[in-house]
Structure 1
Amino acid sequence: MAVLACLAAPQAFAQTPAPKADQPVEEVVISGSRIKKDTFTSTSPLQILRNDDAALAGFTSTAELLQGTAVTGGQGQINNAYGGFVTDGGPGANTVGLRGFGPTRSLVLLNGRRIAPSGTRGAVGAADLNVLPDAIVDRIEVLKDGASSIYGSDAIAGVINIITKKNVDGLTASMKFSAPSDGGGEEGRFSLVGGFVRDRMHVSGSYEYYERQPLTLGDRDWTQCNTDYRRTSSGGVVGEWGSFDFVDPATGKPKCYPISGTGSNGVTINTIGTTSRTGVGAAGSVGTSFNRWRPNAAITTGLVGFEGVGGGSNNLNVRDTFDPRMLNRSLISPTKNHNFYMQGGLDLAALGDAELYWELMFARRESSQTSYRQLSLDYMRGSPLIPSTLAFSNFLPPQPITNGANVGVRAFIGFGNDQSSQEADYGRAVAGLRGALGKTGWDYDVAVMHSKASAKYTFESFLTNRLAQSLNVVASGSGYSCVDTSGGCVAAPALTTDVIGGKLPSDWVNYVFRPVTGTTKYKEDTVSASLTGKLLDLPYGKMKGAFGFEYRKYSLDDTPPIDSQTGNLYNLTSATPTRGSDSVFDTFAELDIPLINNQPGFHELTANVSGRWSDYRSYGRGSTYKIGAAWSPVKALTLRGTTSTSYRAPALYEQFLGPTSGFLSQQNDPCNNWDAAANVGTIRAANCAAEGLPAGYSATNSITVLNSGGANAGLKAETSENATFGIVFQPALGTGWGDLSMAVDYFDIKVDNGVARAGATSILTRCYDDPQFRSGGGFCRLVNSRVAGTNALTVNDSYVNLSTDRVRGFDYTARYTNNVGIGKLRVNLSVTEYRMQANKLFADDPIDDVNGTIGNPKFSGNLDVRYDFNGWRLYYGLDWVGKMNSYEYLGQNPDTSTYKLDTPNYFTHNISVGYKANTWDVTVGVRNAGDKKPPMISAQAGYNRVGNAPLYSGYDFVGRSVFLNASKSF
C-alpha cells in the first residue's frame, strides 16, 4: 500500500503565530501532554496529518491515511489484503502499529480518549480502524514517543490521536470514489457533515457509508500464476529468474501454485491415494510403482483408468495443483462500513462556566472473504462407494470420518470456493463536564465513557460427524443410502472421475458443508477526572501542572461455533471460548516547567515531567515516568529530548485465550532415536530414558499443541525504555525566501518481558534438554505427561513473558513554504530510517536483527508538493519503500543462490488537481500513476507471498487508480 506525504507540519515544532494585541492568547492541548499551552512546541516528536491534504493524495478513509505514513513503514500493517491469513482481530480488521511494532503497542485515541479494541474471534486486542469517522476528522496527531505516563497502557511505540472538527455550522455533502485502471477493488465513500453553533450550544455530526469492491487473484496478471521463481545455479553459472521453476509435463509451462502463499507443493487436487501398486505413469513420472493417481480414461493397463503421479522417487509436482476457481480467492477483501458520529456541548453558565459535552459514535463493518478449499475424502475400506478396480487398496489406518475402519482410498478433491464473513458493530458514548475552579486558574474535566463491540463471524466448513455419517452407506436400489438416516443424512457419492474432479452432488454438499457462526463481544467502561492549572510563578514563566485519575474496566467474550468447540470441523483446528475481564486504577501527574527564556544562549529552556501509578486487578501495581526538555539557544535552533518508561498490560486474549488445538508432526518428538550414538550421555537421552521410552523409540502419534492464554501462568505487563533526542532548525531566510523547518529525531525503544508464545518446538527442546526435567518446573510445566500406551505428547503453548524487542533509528523531516508567483508553495518531506529492528525470544538467545530484510525495510518515506492559487490546488506525492535484502540474514550468496531474496527501492507517484469555490469543492487525481507493481521474490524462503510478491502493506496490490472527490456545502 502506498504511503502518505501530506503532512501539514512535519513536527509540532512550529509555534503558532503571535496574537494581536487585542486578542486573548488561546491555550490548547497537543497530544503527549494534558497541559494547555499557548504554543505548539513539544519536547516529543509529533507528526500532524491534515484531512484535506489526505483527500488531495487520494485516500478514501482514515484507515488508509494512518497506514500510509512513513512512521508506519517499518512493519506491514494489517489491511484488507490479509483476509486469507490468521491475524489478531480476525479477517477484515484494519490496524496500525508504529515504529515497526505490532498494533497492541500503539495507542489509538479519538479526541484524546481511547478507541476500545474490536474485531472477531478470540485474539481481539487492538483498535479496528474501520470504526473511525473520516469526513469530520480535522487532523491526526501522531506522537512518535512512548507515553504511558500520560495515557497509560499500550503507548509503548507512540500514540495516534484523531481530532474531529469543532464548531461546524451548516451542512456539507461529499463523496470520494476511486477506480483502479485494471478493474476490481473500486472504493466509494459518501458522507454528510452538519451542525450548528449557538451562543451557549454547539452540535455537529456526520454519517458516512464506505464500500470497497472485491479484488481477486484473477484480476491481476501478476497474481495469476504463483511460481517458485527460482533460477538454476551450477558450476558458477546462473540462469534467469524462473529458470528453475518446475515445468508441468501436462502443459509444458511453469507450474502454478495459486493456493500457496509460499510456493511449490501446493494443494493436491484431482487425484487419489492408494496402497502402492504397479501402473502406468503420467508424463514426467518415473518408475512403475505409484500411490498417487490421476484419472485418465486412456489407461487400459495397470490401474485401469488412472495414471501414476506420485510415489517412490516421483516428483510430487507432477500432480495437479491448479484449479481456475483458485483465482477467485480474495486479493483485497470487500467491505461495507457505516459510521455515525455526533458531538456537542452546552455552556451551563454555572459551576465555573462549565460546559457539558458529549460524543456518540456507532460503526458497522460488513466484510467477507473468498477462499479455496481442498477436500480430502476418506472412503472406508470395503465401502460399496469404492469401485472394484480400487478395492485392493488399504491406504491408511482409521481416520476421523471412517467410523473406525481403515481408509481404503483417499480422494484429493478440488472442492472449490468457500466464503467467510464478519458483521462487526462498535458503539462509543462519552459524557463529561469541564470548567474552571472559580478564579484559581485551575480547570477541571470529569468524564465517563462506555464502549461496546459486538460481532459475529461465519465461515463454511465440512462437519466431521456428517461426513462420517454420509460415508457409512449401504446399496439402495440404483444408489446408496445412509446406514444412519437421522438428521436428513445424504449418502456420499460413489468414487468416480467426476467426484475426484470436484463435481459433487449439491444435496450432499449442502448436508456436509455448512456455515458455522461464532460471536465476539468486547466492552470497556472508563471514568476519568483531571485538574490542570498554574502551580507557581517562576522567574521565567508559569509552572503548570496536571493531576488526575482514571478507572477502566474491560471484558472480552468470544464464543466460537459449537462445532469448533467440540472439534467437529473437519481438518480445521478446534477452539474453546475466550472469556475474561480486567480493571485498572491509574493516577497521574504532569509538570511543565519554564526554566529560562530570553537570555544569552537561552532563547528558551523548558522541561516536562510526568508520572503514572497503575494498579491492575490481574497482576498488581506498576509505575512509569517521562522526563523531557527542549532548549533553544537561539530562536532558530531547538534541541529536544525525552527519556521514559512505558508498559503494555497483557491484552485480554493473551491472558484468557481459550485453548485452541493444533498439531505438530511426530517427527518433532525430541525422544525419537534418543539412544542413537550421537545422543549417548546427553541430558536429553537421560530424560527420555527416565520416561520409560524403549531403545530405538520412534513416535507414531502427532503432537497436540494447545495455544492458550497465560493468566494462570502469572502473565505480567510488558515494560519498555524509550529515548528520543532531536534537533529542530528553523532559520530566518529573509524576505521573499519563505519559511523552512527541518528536524532530525533519534529514537530508541527497548521492550522487556515481551508477551509471546514460545512455540511448541522450542518448549519441547528446552524441556527435554533441562537437567531438572519435570522436577524443575521451567518449560516442562508446559508439557503434559505422555499418554500411557501411545506415548503421545501434548504441549501447552500459552502466552508468557519472554521476548525482548528493540528498535532504533532516525526520523528526518523538512517543510518549506513560500509565496511563489500568484500562489503558495508547500513542500513536505518525511523519512524514517531504522538502524535496528531486533528481537530475541529467550534471555540467552542472541539478538536477531531483521532490519533491512524482506518485510522490514530500513527506509520509508513520503514527499508531497502542493501549490495553491486562486482556489486551485495542484498536488504531487512520492511514496517510497526502501530496498530489502535477506541474503545475508538467511546465509545465502546473492551471486549463486537459486533464490530471489531482495527487492529494489519501490516508488509510487500520486498526482491530483482540485478547485475550491465558496460552496463546492472538486478534486481529481491518480494514485500510483506509473502503475508500479510489487517486486517479486522466490518461494520456499519462509516469506508469505501474494502471487510472487512479498505480503507487505507498503506495496500497492491494487495498481493505478483514478479518484474523484467532490463536496457541496449548504
Structure 2
Amino acid sequence: MISSQSLSRHRLTSALATALLIPFAAFAQESAQSGSDQATTLDKVTVTGSLIPQSQIETFTPVTVVSAEDIQLRGFQSVADILQQSTFSTGGLQGGQTSASFTQGAEAAGMFSLDPGYTKYLINGRPMSNYPALYNGSDTFNNISGIPVALVERIEILPGGQSSLYGSDAIAGVVNVILKKDIDGGEFTVRGGWFPDGGGASTRFTFADSFGTADGRLRSLFGLQVEQRDPIWGYQRDLTREYNTRGYSAPIAGRDFVVLDAITNGYYFTDPNDCANTTGQFGGTTGKQTREGFGEYCGSFASPGYRTLRNGKESTQLYSYTTFDLNEGTQLYAEVLGNYEETQYATGAGYTWWGTGASYGAFYDPDIGELVNLQRGFAPEDIGGRGYEDILNTDRNKAYTVTIGANGVLGNWDYDAYLSRAEYKLTERSWVRFADPINSWFEENVLGPQLGVDPFYDFYPIFRPDYAAFYSPISPNDFASFTGFVNSESRTWNNLAHVQFTNGSLFSLPGGDAGFAVVAEAGNEGWDYSPDARMLEDPDTLESEIWGQTSVNGAGRRTRYAVTSELRLPVFDPLTVTLAGRYDAFDIGGTTVDKPTYSLGVEYRPIESLLVRGKYGTAFRAPSLADVFQGVSGYYAYNTDYYRCSLDGFTPADTDDCLYDSVQYFGQQSGNTDLEPITADVWNAGFVWAPFNNLSLSVDYFSWDIRNEVKRLTGDQLLLSEYYCQTGDTGGAPVTSCDNVADWVRRSATGQLDAVFTPKVNIASQKLRALTASANYLLNAGSVGDFAFAANYTNNLEHTLVTQPGEDALDLLRDPEAMWIYDSFAKTRTDASVAWNKGDWTTTLYANRIGSTPNYLAYAGGGYDYVHPSGERAGKWGGYTTYNLSVNWRALDNLTFAVLVNNVFDKSPDFQAQNYPGTSTTPYNNYLYNPYGRSIYLEAKYRFGQ
C-alpha cells in the first residue's frame, strides 16, 4: 500500500479539489467553509500523468477528471458516450452509423482529431487489449463499449504526448478508466430508457457490494452490469427513412430492378408487366420510376430505411477487486474484469443486392444489341420472416483481464508489482451471399443458358434473360438457398509483468522532498485475424466464395520490455521540475524496434492562487501487429508507367501522348516487416488560476509534430519513385529506398509492367496545434441551494498533413476536400454544465456544442466558393448544441430515484439535408452528428447493508 502524507492545502489546491474531486452531494458543506482561511489537508494521491504521489491536484500535465457523479448527473450512458462527447473529441468517428464499415459493431474514440489508435487506453492503470478487427480496415484501436460504466469511479483524461511514462500509442493522450475498488455497503440499480421517436429502448441492471473479514485484512468488491438495448433503424427516423426528399436535386428512388447499359450507365426498361409484379416490395412502396437523363426502372424510395443507425446490444460485465493485508507492509491484490457482449446491426438495402457486373463484368443481350448489366436489390419480402431483422450481423465479443499483484513498503520505498493477462476474442457472424449458388440461381431463373460470347470483344457472355422473372419477387425459400452466415474468428492478447518502486522523499530540496519512481515492464502480445475460409481472396482471380466480398487474414506476435523513471524536483518553493525517461524495445518478426522517449515538466507557482506550467517531450507509436503482419491481398489498377514513358522522351509532368500513360497491372498489398516507429515531438504550456477558493480557470496550448506516419503506398507513388531511381532525375525523390522500389515493381523480360507491391511504409507527417480551456465555479446561495458551474473548450488551431515527402501540406481544418478524404473534423468543441443542489434534490443541465463544420457541397465541390447549378452553395454548418437534463431525488437515506432526459430539445441534423442531393441515403455528416433525437431514462438505486 502507498503511504500517504498530508500537507496544508493552498487556495489553488482547495479550489481544484472542490471542483474535481468532491462529490456534488457534499459540496454544500465544503462551499460553506470556502470563505474562511481555515487550513485543510489533502492526502498525497497518484493521478494519471505521474508515477509519484503528490498533494497538488494540478501539476505540469493537465488532467481532466470525469467522476462517477459527473457521469450520473450529465446523463452519460456508457464510457464511449463520455469520451465521444469530450471536448477533446474533435474528429469524426466510424461506428454504428457507418454502414458496412470494418468495425461497425465496435465503439471508438479519439483525441484532437488524431486516429483513435493514437490514444492510449488504460483500465486501472493497465493497458487494454486491442480490438481484433481493424479500424478503417488497417488501424488497431481499442473498443471501449465493454467497460461497465456503472462501476466507474472516475475517468482521467490526459491530453498530449505521454510516451515517456506510458510508452507506445500515447501520442494524442492517455485515458485511464478507474473502476471502483470499495464501496460502503451494497448497491442495486435499475435503469430503463427509450427514444420517443422509436427504437433504442434499453434496460440496465447493476449490482455491486463489498465484503470482507471481521479484522479487515481481507476486502473484496464484486460488481455486475447487465444491459440490453434495441437497435435504431433508419425507417424510425424521418431523416433516414427514405432517399433525401429535401435535397438540392430531386429525390431518386433506389434502383431495385434496373437494366444498365454497361458503357453509358443509361437504363433500358424491359419489364413486360410495367413493374406490376414488384409493387409489394419494401412494404408496398416499389413502383415504376424515372430518372432524368438515364431512363425508367422499378424502385422504392423507402429502401434506405432498412439499416440500423445504432447497434442493438446485449452485454454482461463482471468485475471484482480483492485485497488481503499479508502483514503491515505488504498487501496482496487480485482484479478480474470480464466482458461478454453481442452487438447486432444491418448494413441495409444498399449492400443487399445482386448484379451481373460483379460476376461477369457485363453480358450481351441480343434483343437489345448492347452490353448490359442487371441489378436487383432484395426487399424484406424476399427475405421473409421478420425481413432485415432476420439477417442482422452479430459481433460477439469475449474479453477478460486478470491481474494479481502485491504492493507495500520496503524501507523508504513503496512498491507495486503485478502480473496481468488481457485477452479479447471476436466472432463476426456476417450475413453473406454465396457466389456460386446466387449466380446459379439467377442463371437458372433469369439469365438462361449462355449463348456464346459477345460480337464486340469476343469475351463477354451472351444471355437472353427472362425479364418477367427478373422483375418479380423471390420466394424466401429461394432467397435462403443462396444466402446465409459465415463466422470469422479473431483475437488479441497482452501479457504484462510490471514492477514499480517509488520514493516520495528521496532527498530534501529548498522546495520540499524530491520524489523518484522507476518502473520495469516485460511482456508479449499477439494478434490473429482468421476470416471464414470462404471469404479469403483467391490470389489469381481476386475472388472468394462469397459474392461481392473478400477478406484478408493476418497473425503475428511481439515481445517487449521497457524501463521508465521519473524524478520530481521541488527546486524551491514556487518551482518544481519533473524529468521522465523511458526506453521501449519490441521484437517484431525477428527484428528489434526500440525507442527512447523523455519529457521535461515545469510547475511555477509565483503566488498561491496561480500555477504556470509547461512540458516538452517526445512520443512514439511502435509498428502495430496489423501494420506488420496483415496478409496479402490483390487488386487490378491502371497507372502511368513513368519509366517506360521516359524511354520515349516523356517527363512525369507530360505523359498525355505516351503509349504507357494508362497501363493495367496486378497490384498486391500487405503489411510490412520493415516499418519503423511513428515519432512525435510534443509540448504544452498553460496556467491554472484560482482567484477564490471556489473558482478555478485553466488554459493550455498543445503542439504536436508527428513524423514517420504509416500510410499505404499507391501504385502511382511507387511507379513515380521507380522513375526517379532509374533515371537519376533530381526533380523529385522516391518515397522509399531504391532497393525497395526494385523489389516492389516487377517487370517481364521485355520490360512490360507485370505487378506492383504497395505495402505500408513510413511516409507521412502531421502538425497539430490546439488550445484548451476549462472553468469551475461553486456558489453557495444560502436557502436557495448550492450551484456548481463547469465548462470546457477545445480549439484546434492548426492541423496539416503531408502525405509524402515533397508534397504540399493538406489543411485538415480549412480545406474541405482534404477534410472529406481524411475523415471529418470539427475545429472547436465546447461543453458546459450547471448543477443545483438543495436538500434531497439535485438537478443538472449539461450542454455539448460541436463547432461549425464544412457542409456537404464544400466537401463535394472542393472548397467554400463552390456553387451547385441548383443554386445551393458550399459553406459551413453552424454550431450544433444538444442539452441533457437530470433530476435526482433521494427519497430515503438508502433509496434514490432519477429522471434523465438527453437531447432535451430533440435536436437533429435534419437542417443539413437541403445541402445533399436527392440520391443521398444519409443526408447529414454521420461522422460527427446523429439523428437519434430525445431519449428518456428512469433509474432507481437502492443501497443496503449500510
Is it true that 1:205 corresponds to 2:213 in the alignment? no
C-alpha change, 1:885 and 1:779, in structure 2 (3 Å) is farther
After superposing on structure 2, the runs of 4+ consecutive aligned residues of structure 1 that deviate more than 6 Å are 7-25, 306-310, 378-381, 672-677, 684-689, 773-776, 787-792, 938-946
Separation in 2, partners of 1:12, 1:453: 33
Q: How does 1:354-433 map to 2 (within 5 A)?
A: 354-370=330-346, 371-372=348-349, 373-377=352-356, 391-392=366-367, 410-416=373-379, 417=388, 418-433=391-406
CA contact (8 A) 1:10 1:48 kept: no
1:315 aligns with 2:284: no
**Residues 551-630 of structure 1 aligned to structure 2 (within 5 Å):** 551-565=522-536, 566=538, 567-597=543-573, 604-618=574-588, 619-630=592-603
Residue 540 (structure 1) aligned with residue 511 (structure 2): yes
Cα-to-partner distance string for 1:31-90 (whole Å, 9 max, x where unaligned): 011111133231111100012222222222122112111111x102344323x1424xx2
- Give the TM-score, by structure 1 length: 0.80
Any residues of structure 2 matched to 1:232-243 within 5 Å, and which? Answer: 242-243=247-248
The CA distance in 1 between the partners of 2:225 and 2:492, in whole Å, is 23
Q: Which residue is 2:257 aligned to?
A: 270
Q: Which digits, 9 at most, give the CA deviation of each residue in 1:567-614, with x for residues without a partner?
A: 3245534333210011211001100111111xxxxxx21111100011
- Structure 2 residue ranges without an equivalent (≥5): 1-15, 276-286, 380-387, 451-462, 729-733
C-alpha separation in 1, matches of 2:781 and 2:471: 68
Q: 1:105 to 1:317 in 2, by over 3 A?
A: farther
Q: 1:963 aligns with which of 918, 937, 942?
A: 937
8 Å Cα contact 1:763-1:782 kept in structure 2: no
Distance (whole Å) between structure 2 residues aligned to residue 471 and residue 741 of structure 1: 70
CA deviations over 1:474-523 (Å, ceiling 9, x no partner) = 99xxx999xxxxxxxxxxx9954564346224444333223121100111
Q: Aligned AA for 1:814?
A: A
Q: Which residue of 2 aligns with 1:811?
A: 772
**Secondary structure at the residue paired with 1:130?**
coil
Q: Compare 61-70 and 762-771 and name the one that shifted more.
A: 762-771
In the alignment, structure 1 residue 184 sits paired with structure 2 residue 145 = no
Amino acid at match of 1:611: G
Corresponding residue of 1:838: 800
Q: Is the 8 A contact 1:670 1:764 kept in 2?
A: yes
1:283-362, aligned counterparts within 5 Å?
292-297=268-273, 315-316=293-294, 319=297, 322=300, 324-349=302-327, 353-362=329-338
Equivalent in the alignment of 2:687: 727
Conserved 8 A contact 2:630-2:670: yes
Residues 1:923 and 2:898 are matched in the alignment: yes
In the aligned structure 2, how far is the partner of 1:61 from the partner of 1:867? 23
Partner of residue 758, structure 1: 713
Given the superposition, is the C-alpha separation of residues 944 and 518 from structure 1 closer, same or farther in structure 2, using an over 3 Å criterion? Answer: farther
SS in 1 for 2:145: helix
- What CA deviation, in whole Å up to 9, does each residue of 1:412-467 have, x standing for no partner? 11124553221110011001011110xx3211111000011111112122222334
Query: Following TM superposition, by how much is the alpha carbon of 1:315 offset from its aligned partner in structure 2, in angstroms?
Result: 2.5
Shift of 1:205: 2.0
SS in 1 for 2:407: strand
Per-residue deviation at 1:102?
1.3
1:421 partner amino acid: T
Counterparts in 2 of 1:333 and 1:275: CA distance versus 1, 3 Å: closer
Q: Distance in 2 between matches of 1:296 and 1:390?
A: 16
**Corresponding residue to 1:890 among 862, 865, 868:** 862
Given that residues 575 and 661 in structure 1 are in contact (C-alpha distance below 8 angstroms), is that contact kept between their aligned partners in structure 2? no
Give me the whole-angstrom Cα distance separating, in 2, the residues matched to 1:379 and 1:138.
Answer: 52
Residues 211, 943 of structure 1: CA spacing in aligned structure 2 closer, same or farther, 3 A cutoff? farther
Mapped to 2, the partners of 1:52 and 1:271 lie a distance apart of: 56
By how many angstroms is 1:662 displaced? 4.3
Q: Secondary structure at the match of 1:70?
A: coil
The equivalent residue for 1:279 is none
Map of 1:706 onto structure 2 = 668
- Give yes or no for contact 1:498–1:504 (8 Å, CA) kept in 2: no
In 2, the alpha carbon distance for the partners of 1:673 and 1:717 equals: 31
Structure 1: distance between partners of 2:918 and 2:683: 32
Partner of 1:104: 117
Which string of whole-angstrom CA distances, capped at 9 and with x for unpartnered residues, describes residues 933-956 of structure 1? 115557999999862101223x24
CA separation in 2, counterparts of 1:947 and 1:858?
A: 22
Give the secondary-structure state (helix, strand or coil) at the position aligned to 1:39: coil
Shift in Å at residue 630 of structure 1? 0.7
Is residue 675–residue 685 contact of structure 1 (8 Å, CA) maintained in 2?
no
- Cα distance in 1, alignment partners of residues 274 and 240 from structure 2: 34
**Range with bigger deviation, 366-375 or 721-730:** 366-375
- Match for residue 549 of structure 1 among 520, 527, 532: 520
The 8 Å contact of residues 358 and 548 in structure 2, kept in 1 or not, is answered as no
Summarize deviations over 1:218-239 as a string: whole Å, max 9, x none: 111111344497xxxxxxxxxx
Read off the aligned partner of 1:419 and give its amino acid letter: L
Q: Is the CA contact (8 Å cut-off) linking 2:552 and 2:631 kept in structure 1? A: yes
- In the TM superposition, what is the alpha-carbon distance from 1:322 to its structure 2 partner? 3.6
Residue type of the alignment partner of 2:157:
V
How many residue pairs are counted as aligned between the two chains?
Answer: 850
Paired residues for 1:710-859 under 5 Å: 710-711=672-673, 714-732=674-692, 739-767=694-722, 771-772=726-727, 777=738, 780-781=741-742, 784-785=745-746, 794-822=755-783, 823-851=785-813, 853=816, 855-859=824-828
> What's the counterpart of residue 495 of structure 2?
525
Q: How does 1:383-532 map to 2 (within 5 A)?
A: 391-392=366-367, 410-416=373-379, 417=388, 418-437=391-410, 440-467=411-438, 470=441, 495-497=465-467, 499-501=469-471, 503-532=473-502
Aligned CA-pair RMSD: 4.0
How far did 1:894 drift? 5.6
Deviations 1:139-184 (A, max 9, x none): 1111112111111111111111111223224221112223112111
Secondary structure of the corresponding residue to residue 466 of structure 1: helix
- Separation of aligned partners in 2, 1:256 and 1:298: 16
Greater Cα offset, 763-772 or 608-617: 763-772
Deviation at 1:356, TM superposition (A): 0.4
Give the 3 Å change call, closer, same or farther, for CA 792–680 of structure 1 in structure 2.
closer
CA contact (8 A) 1:863 1:878 kept: yes
C-alpha contact (below 8 Å) 1:944/1:951 kept by paired residues: no
Q: Aligned with 1:951: secondary structure? A: coil
Q: Post-superposition shift, 1:135? A: 1.5
- Aligned with 1:38: secondary structure? coil
Asked if 2 retains the 8 angstrom alpha-carbon contact of 1:674 and 1:697, the reply is no
Residue 156 of structure 2 corresponds to 141
Give deviations 1:179-236, integer Å, cap 9, x for gaps. 112111223321111112441111002111122211111111111344497xxxxxxx
CA distance in 1, matches of 2:727, 2:562: 41
The AA in structure 2 aligned to 1:648 is R
Cα deviations by residue, 1:755-798 (Å, 9 ceiling, x for unpaired): 12234454445545765499973774575435799977544332
CA distance in 1, matches of 2:660, 2:315: 60
SS of equivalent residue, structure 1 residue 805:
strand
2:926 aligned with 1:951: yes
